[in-house]
Amino acid sequence: MSIPETDKPKILVLFAHPYPQLSRANRSMIDAVRDLPHVTVHDLYETYPDFHIDVKREQALLAAHDVIVMQHPFYWYSCPSLLKEWMDAVLEYGWAYGNGGTALQGKDLVQAISTGGPDYAYREDGYNRYPMEDLLRPFERSATLCGLTYRPPYLFQGVRLKSQQEVEAHAAAYRHWLDGYAHPAQQAACAQPVVPATDR
């Protein structure tokens, strides 16, 4: 059953890939969702090639959306550097967390991540030694500190081994997933974590 357009949450896709022209997976995924009316695609590397982030603009974008999707390749067990710079600059104390920092409460955060290695490489007995949920703990904790609801990541793993047909099928599935994303809530707002001044 499809969700009426008026009931769909506003979704902000923070797209962070320094070389999108070289990425089969991420380029296909982002192209597949650009025309969805309730989705705003925000290409961070295109917008900020000099890494000088307009904090107020980014905060206004976040405030205007219900769901934040961080779409990025998995670089060195984390995200590309501009997305980390974005987090450092935009998620300010007193705005996103801490005393008075309630701007993001009740919104969802999801990561749409691609990995070159297959899913079985991300296990305790695999090449990378840790499951993805362990490697993503810093993102989860950053989200919950800001009163966001951290949702399970949308993963596309083993990209190097995928055919073009499989990449296109994943992009179509990504579009379907975003198009049918349920509104984060009529849920009660998350309790705002208390951040003691001595812990900052």
- 14-37 per-position pLDDT tens digit: 999 999 888 999 999 999 999 999
Domain assignment present for residue 193? The answer is: yes
Predicted confidence at residue 130, as pLDDT, reads 92
- DSSP secondary structure string for all residues of the chain: -PPPGGGSPPEEEEE--S-GGG-HHHHHHHHHHTT-TTEEEEEHHHH-TT----HHHHHHHHHT-SEEEEEEE-BTTB--HHHHHHHHHHS-BTTTBSTT--TTTT-EEEEEEEESS-GGGSSTTSTTSS-HHHHTHHHHHHHHHTT-EEPPPEEEE-GGG--HHHHHHHHHHHHHHHHTPPPS-SPPPPPPPP--GGG-
Let me know if residue 59 belongs to a domain. yes
Which pLDDT score is estimated for 182? 78
* pLDDT at 103 (0 to 100): 96
Mean pLDDT along residues 80-90: 98
Q: Say whether pLDDT at 200 is over 60.
A: no
% of the chain surpassing 90 pLDDT? 78
pLDDT band, residue 3 (cuts 50/70/90) = low
Residue 2 lies in a domain: no
User: Tell me, what's the pLDDT at 197?
Assistant: 54
CATH number of the domain within which 36 lies: 3.40.50.360
Instruction: Name the residue among 139, 68, 142, 145 with its Cα closest to residue 108.
Output: 68
Q: Cα dist. 174→50, 113, 142, 165, 183 in Å?
A: 30, 11, 24, 14, 17
Q: What is the mean pLDDT of the chain?
A: 90
Query: pTM (2 decimals)?
Result: 0.87
> For 45-54, how does the pLDDT look when each residue is reduced to its tens digit (9 = 90+)?
999 999 999 9
**What is the total count of domains within the chain?**
1
Do the Cβ atoms of 68 and 108 come closer than 8 Å?
A: yes
Residue span of the structural domain in which 160 resides? 8-199
Which pLDDT belongs to residue 2? 60
pLDDT > 60? residue 154:
yes
State how far the Cα of 10 lies from the Cα of 156, in Å rounded to an integer: 23
- Whether residue 119 lies inside any domain: the answer is yes
Distance from C-alpha of 121 to C-alpha of 118, rounded to nearest angstrom: 6
Q: How far apart are CA 99 and CA 120, in angstroms?
A: 42
What are the residues whose beta carbons fall under 8 Å from the beta carbon of 94, sequence distance 6 or more? 100, 101
Tokens of 189: 């707002």
Q: Tell me the per-residue pLDDT of 91-136, one tens digit each, with 9 for 90 and over.
A: 999 999 999 999 999 999 999 999 999 899 999 998 989 999 999 9
pLDDT digits (tens, 9 = 90+) for 164-181: 999 999 999 999 999 999
**pLDDT value at 187 more than 50:** no
Q: Is residue 1 part of a domain?
A: no
Q: Report yes or no on 97 lying in a domain.
A: yes
Q: How far is CA 32 from CA 23, 44, 86, 186, in A?
A: 14, 18, 24, 29
